[in-house]
Amino acid sequence: MKYLSPQYEDVKPLLTAVDCIIFGVQGTELKLLVFKREIDPFAGCLSLLGRFVKVDEGINEAAGRILFELTGLENIYMEQLHCFGRVDRDPGGRVVAIGYWSLIRVDQNHMEFNVRSHETMWISIDRISELVLDHSEMAELAISNLREKARFKPIGFELLPEEFTLGQLLTVYQAIFDHPIDDRNFRKRMLKSELLIPLPKKDKSTSKKGSFLYKFNQETYHRLSKEGYNFGF
């Protein structure tokens, strides 16, 4: 690609990177996917999954490519978080980083991978302060966005398999907010929200009696994603 406009010629370009903040719920805990940084400065330190944007790809495509290169995952829910551009954020050069955050469903078998020779790993949220550069700040902002969204939009469903129990749904929300949520109130609210479609079957993996399975109502989901809904968390 050539720079066409002579008016743009004197402008000094900057490096542009994408960093991915990828969340998943493992057991009862919200986790973050990181890897050991491969290049200097700070090679070997814990880092978000990131790479530079190429001159011939859009930033959204770059985010998808980077996620795929580092994890083998494709077609994952990704949302742009924020652009981070302090002059001194990276001692290796003047890099503007665009953060993208993702939620990975627990049923996609995505919680236990270590692909393409990259040492990716899931870490607890309380280890975020160990991340390199301004990656802690990025991850903190992503968590606060995730929590804010989860209060008003039915985003927790992105972390669940297609069919789930109310117990699993509660676990996801407790993991996101990192505090216990009153079980009875939660069930009442969720059932009242019209977000859930009861299925005529039970999950018996955790008890003999079993728990009813639900899937979520796409129509209500899209309406509430747009309109918002106060879940009272």
Please, are residues 36 and 46 in contact by the beta-carbon 8 Å criterion? Answer: yes
Residue 189 and residue 232: Cα distance in Å, rounded?
9
Which residue from 36, 147, 151, 223 is in contact with a copy of itself, where contact means CB under 8 A? 151
Should residue 65 be labelled a site residue for a copy of itself when binding is judged by CB under 8 A? no
Should residue 192 be labelled a site residue for a copy of itself when binding is judged by CB under 8 A? no
Residue 197 and residue 211: Cα distance in Å, rounded?
14
Min CB(2)–a copy of itself separation in Å: 8
Residue 134 and residue 23: Cα distance in Å, rounded?
18
Min CB(50)–a copy of itself separation in Å: 12
CA dist list (Å): 67 to 24, 123, 185: 14, 17, 38
Identity of the residue, 90 or 213, whose beta carbon is nearer to a copy of itself in the bound complex: 90
Which residue from 35, 68, 113, 152 is in contact with a copy of itself, where contact means CB under 8 A? 152
Min CB(104)–a copy of itself separation in Å: 23
Should residue 200 be labelled a site residue for a copy of itself when binding is judged by CB under 8 A? no
C-alpha closest to that of 62 among 91, 107, 22, 100: 100
Q: How far is CA 119 from the centre of its chain?
A: 19
Which residue from 21, 53, 172, 196 is in contact with a copy of itself, where contact means CB under 8 A? 53
Q: How many residues sit close enough to a copy of itself to count as binding (CB under 8 A)?
A: 45
Should residue 59 be labelled a site residue for a copy of itself when binding is judged by CB under 8 A? yes
Should residue 72 be labelled a site residue for a copy of itself when binding is judged by CB under 8 A? no
Cα–Cα–Cα angle for 68, 124, 97, rounded to 5 degrees: 45
Residue 230 and residue 233: Cα distance in Å, rounded?
8
Identity of the residue, 84 or 216, whose beta carbon is nearer to a copy of itself in the bound complex: 84
Cα–Cα–Cα angle for 80, 72, 178, rounded to 5 degrees: 55
Q: Which of residues 92-121 bind a copy of itself (CB under 8 A)?
A: 92-96, 98
Cα–Cα–Cα angle for 29, 187, 142, rounded to 5 degrees: 35
Q: What is the largest CA-CA distance in the chain?
A: 73
Identity of the residue, 53 or 106, whose beta carbon is nearer to a copy of itself in the bound complex: 53
Identity of the residue, 31 or 149, whose beta carbon is nearer to a copy of itself in the bound complex: 149
164-183 footprint of a copy of itself as x/- string (CB under 8 A): --------------------
List contacts with a copy of itself (CB under 8 A).
1, 3-8, 11-16, 39-41, 52-60, 62, 80, 82-87, 91-96, 98, 148, 151-152, 228, 230
